[in-house]
Amino acid sequence: TSFKLISGKEWDLPRVLEYLLYRFDHYLEAQLPQREALRTEFDQHLYLRNEWRSMKSTKHGQFLGKIMGTEENGALLIEDQRQQVLRFDHKEINFS
């Protein structure tokens, strides 16, 4: 269906898109405090969190690391034995 079929009138689609993005942006801003609390709770339940494990990535090779948490965008944060925090996106790390 379309806006025109539903309403019977012409729409300025770029302006409609601008309005929808504006509203969506305000909605997301209102959700920020809840999102951070949700991520904190999620991080508390991560599999193998704070446990030293053998891990492997193409960028860092084989190493010992422990899962520390996640970033807002979902990247996994892992501390290595040199106390460096490394970030990994989806499918960038394997657990041995």
Q: What is the pLDDT of residue 33?
A: 79
**Tokens describing residue 6:** 């539903």
Distance CA 90, CA 81 (A): 22
Q: What is the pLDDT of residue 94?
A: 94
Distance CA 5, CA 7 (A): 6
Q: What is the pLDDT of residue 65?
A: 97
Q: What is the pLDDT of residue 2?
A: 87
Q: What is the pLDDT of residue 83?
A: 97
Average confidence (pLDDT) per 10 residues, the chain, 96 residues: 89 94 89 84 94 95 97 94 96 90
Q: What residue type is assigned to position 77 of the chain? A: L
**What's the whole-model pTM score?**
0.65
Q: What is the pLDDT of residue 36?
A: 83
Give all strands (DSSP E) within 1-96, no chain letters: 53-57, 61-70, 76-80, 85-88, 94-95
